[in-house]
Amino acid sequence: MSDPAVQQLRDFVFNNSLQACGLTILLYDHCLILEQEIRYIWRPRFSLVTALYIIAKYLGFVNVCLTSISLLAPSMIDSLHCRVFQAMNIYIEVIGMAAAGAILALKAWAVWERNKAVGIGLLLTYTFLLGSALIATTLWFIIAPSTPLTRTRISCPQDIKSIYAVSYWLMCLLLETIVTCLLLVKGARSYKYRNMMQFFDVIYTDGLLYYLYMSSLGITAVILTKVVYPKFLVSLGLPLRTIGFSLVTRSVLRTRERALQPPCII
């Protein structure tokens, strides 16, 4: 049987490796798309999608900082409790993913030419899922056992039950599935009547691929969350969320880039 101190050190190294992976993906993606972001996000007039883009992307950096503090708590915040930072981290994560989900929902609504019934349905679904995620986070914060810091700990304890993480990813997956189905239905109708407008083609062609990528990411997250140990849930979620944010932000940039391109005349 391994020494508890050795096992704790292994967990600490593994958590930090996941943290470094998430940070590397975040910084690398930021450097890759910075020029496009300046051109298509910061220069055009401010809009709701622009605000959601900024929230979804830059809360990822805050998420990294809070996760780092949570993992390195004994050496940085001896007088504070880890659970406070974990709760802040999860709330920010929910808000960031909610902003990303709102962007996806708005794109689907645009494909449906801002149909009132579709808009109301998406709004109700989005509100229900966001409310459920916030309630689940609050319940975790209230119900989760308090584990005080000790001098022997080398990392902040991650008292996260897998049911909360699975529920969170399932809610994200549900929204992505609904939006993907809306795109498929609209695409089938447009193909049937040969009514492929340039604006619809820009959003639909790229949008559907990103929705499929996001759905695949959600399924992967659910599977990994079920098989991984609870003490790795916070750190494991970081690279997965970073990839999700990257997909959504790239979808916005790609759509604006294609929308501003002059039409091709053959």
Count of H helices and E strands in the chain? 8, 0
Distance (Å, rounded) from C-alpha 46 to C-alpha 26? 24
DSSP 1: -
- 45 domain-assigned: yes
The pLDDT of residue 151: 46
The rounded distance, in Å, linking the Cα atoms of 109 and 183 is 9
Classify residue 263: in a domain, yes or no: no
Q: Is residue 152 part of a domain?
A: no
Is residue 85 very low, low, confident or very high in pLDDT (cuts 50, 70, 90)? confident
**Integer Cα distance of 48 and 257 in angstroms:** 17
Residue spans of alpha helices (H) in 42-197? 48-71, 73-76, 82-111, 116-143, 162-193
Query: Which is more confident, 34 or 20?
Result: 34
- Domain that includes residue 11, residue range: 4-145+159-253
pLDDT score of 62 more than 70: yes
Tens digits of residue pLDDT in 217-236? 777 777 776 666 556 666 66
Tens digit of each residue's pLDDT (9 = 90 or more) over 231-265: 666 666 677 777 777 877 887 887 777 766 655 44
> CATH number of the domain that 225 lies in?
1.20.1070
| 116 is a domain residue | yes
Q: How far apart are CA 57 and CA 69, in angstroms?
A: 20
How many structural domains comprise the chain? 1
- DSSP code for 79: T
Query: Scanning the structure block, which residue is given the tokens 């079920």?
Result: 226
For the segment 115-142, the average pLDDT, to the nearest whole number, is 83
